[in-house]
Amino acid sequence: GPKVLQIPSHQIIDMGQMVTLNCDPVSNHLYFYWYKQILGQQMEFLVNFYNGKVMEKSKLFKDQFSVERPDGSYFTLKIQPTALEDSAVYFCASSLTGGHSDYTFGSGTRLLVI
């Protein structure tokens, strides 16, 4: 079936540096999401995005986080500056209708902040 691709699959970065996580969503999808999963813990919603705007963000979506999808390219999550507690697996998801029948997750980017 259609896939969401996440690039890179792994990233190690020094604390305080900027990192950009890239997501190539399913080609005709319109709604985009980021989730965060700390090792051994549950998946938690960060933000969703539609028509160039953030629809909703959680308390985990700190001021240092930002998302964008310029001109139909990658949907990106930028963290600037990074902190140790940002170490986690970040999952991107996309859907066409915003409903649940076609909600597709990527395989995640494993971010380690040292």
Partner 1 sequence: GDSVTQTEGQVALSEEDFLTIHCNYSASGYPTLFWYVQYPGEGPQLLFRASRDKEKGSSRGFEATYDKGTTSFHLRKASVQESDSAVYYCALSDNNAGAKLTFGGGTRLTVRP
Torsion, CA 28, CA 33, CA 39, CA 42, rounded to 10: -110
> Residues in the chain, how many?
114
The interface with partner 1 within residues 24-63 (CB under 8 A) comprises: 31, 33, 35, 41-45, 48, 50, 55-56, 58
Is 75 among the residues that bind partner 1 (CB under 8 A)? no
> Taking contact as CB under 8 A, which single stretch among the options 11-19, 67-75, 76-84, 93-101 is the one that binds partner 1?
93-101
For residues 31 and 19, what is the distance between their CA atoms, to the nearest angstrom?
23
Is 107 among the residues that bind partner 1 (CB under 8 A)? yes
Give the binding site for partner 1 (CB under 8 A): 4, 31, 33, 35, 41-45, 48, 50, 55-56, 58, 91, 93, 95, 97-100, 103, 105-108
